[in-house]
Structure 1
């Protein structure tokens, strides 16, 4: 491995951030993506970050393994799997900047939609239509940019989950989703022996971030937790829009 000092600093900081996000408010994982991209060019950063996210998902599942609503996963995961397939097919067809801009705007629209959903009871057809669109978009976003966290977080909030149920369901969901993505990323050369060695080096830092996140969640009440999820999604949207227009 012949990586620069900047590359090592970026991936080590990203490992802490990923571990923290997976066991706490989530959504902030998206900030690790541009951080890793500073040290690793192009789509190489996607392959480096994915196995690390799978490890952090495993850590989160260990903490919250009893707090999962499997009905949500069984309903939503097939849609996301289809979205991953779509993302795989269009991986080289959509410029990264265009996708980042569209995704950032979509997150803001979902935040605004969430405010409406909290006050207006949607009909059955509208609920299913919304679920299908979000499910497919989550799959495409995670395949193209490892950026599904904010979308899924907003959707789960709209389901009215409590704090532990939210994190437990999200943890299991992303473990399944990111593991599902591994063969796709490996088949196009994004995951290599060198990138896996780098992932192993990052494990202690991901553990540290995960522990900090777990301890933080214990002191947050439900309302503050909800605002943190929305705030993280807004930060992610701003980062994506900035990346898309710069």
Structure 2
């Protein structure tokens, strides 16, 4: 893949697809993680599947660095470190798979994985909604109205009231409550098993087609992370994981000089996407955030199945 020749042969639509994919990489790293799966689909639509994974990886690393710089203070390190061993195993399995399969098998395998994850998440949401009426029957009016403390909009603190604590104290209290909730959830043996399975899937999918984002996203959502905790933990996760898999991708011939030259042209678009994501993240509430992750993941999985 030589960039001058490849760029000259690209039509307007394929070139627009690559630029859009690079923009979505930036947005996915600093705002809506689920749209990153569309970058995978767009690259695979323009570049052969095996080459597309190598061409996309350096752009993802650019986005990872920007995301870590933006959200590093919101990382839950215990949760992150608990995931990494199973992810490493998944990556090694992915290396073996990539070495032995062709483009069509790679694309469809990832499509099946992504769609399975979405269906699992929808099933969990349906179960939770079905359990809420029964739980509300034995609790007070607040529980029946929605349960527990009210959800603040993503990235925003509750509106201050007269005599309320300073905003910094409110943020600290919210962070502490979120950390306690996440630790409680992750201490559950069933949740630990889920972390193991999601880690294997994320590691395998990210090695095969840079598609580990949906698995990681849905795991963090199911573990109870808010938007900023989601983004901060995910930022470090993918920076570490993408650096870990880079030598394997080079060894498999997925990262080539031509792909790196193409990435050099698209890297500024990733930066623009990251800035756009920073502007959007405070305007997306938690419920909408979860729905966007599910919708974009489903769309990308269906595209990969074709």
Is the TM value for this pair above 0.5?
yes
Tell me the secondary structure at the aligned position of residue 49 of structure 2.
Answer: coil
Using the size of structure 2 for normalisation, the TM-score is 0.73
* Partner in structure 2 of residue 19 of structure 1: 26
Quote the Cα distance in structure 2 between the aligned partners of 1:148 and 1:141: 5
Q: In the TM superposition, what is the alpha-carbon distance from 1:150 to its structure 2 partner?
A: 1.2
Q: Show structure 1 runs of 5+ residues with no match.
A: none
Q: Show structure 2 runs of 5+ residues with no match.
A: 133-184
Tell me the secondary structure at the aligned position of residue 191 of structure 1.
Answer: coil
Q: In the TM superposition, what is the alpha-carbon distance from 1:97 to its structure 2 partner?
A: 4.3
* Partner in structure 1 of residue 58 of structure 2: 51
* Partner in structure 2 of residue 5 of structure 1: 10
Does 1:198 pair with 2:262?
yes
Quote the Cα distance in structure 2 between the aligned partners of 1:170 and 1:23: 10
Quote the Cα distance in structure 1 between the aligned partners of 2:191 and 2:69: 32
Deviating beyond 4 angstroms after TM superposition, the runs of 4 or more aligned structure 1 residues are: 117-123
The answer to whether the 8 Å contact 1:117/1:158 transfers is no
Aligned length: 242
For structure 1, which segment, 194-203 or 219-228, has the greater mean C-alpha deviation from structure 2 after superposition?
Answer: 219-228
1:41 to 28, 44, 48: 48
* Partner in structure 2 of residue 137 of structure 1: 201
Quote the Cα distance in structure 2 between the aligned partners of 1:123 and 1:212: 36
1:108 to 115, 118, 121: 118
Q: 1:124 to 1:20 in 2, by over 3 A?
A: closer
Q: 1:92 to 1:117 in 2, by over 3 A?
A: farther
* Partner in structure 2 of residue 243 of structure 1: 304
Using the size of structure 1 for normalisation, the TM-score is 0.90
Does 1:29 pair with 2:36?
yes
Q: In the TM superposition, what is the alpha-carbon distance from 1:222 to its structure 2 partner?
A: 2.8
**Which runs of structure 2 are paired with 1:1-246 in the superposition (5 Å)?**
1=3, 2-3=5-6, 4-6=9-11, 7-94=14-101, 95-115=105-125, 116=127, 124-232=188-296, 236-244=297-305, 246=306
Q: Which entry has the higher C-alpha Rg, 1 or 2?
A: 2
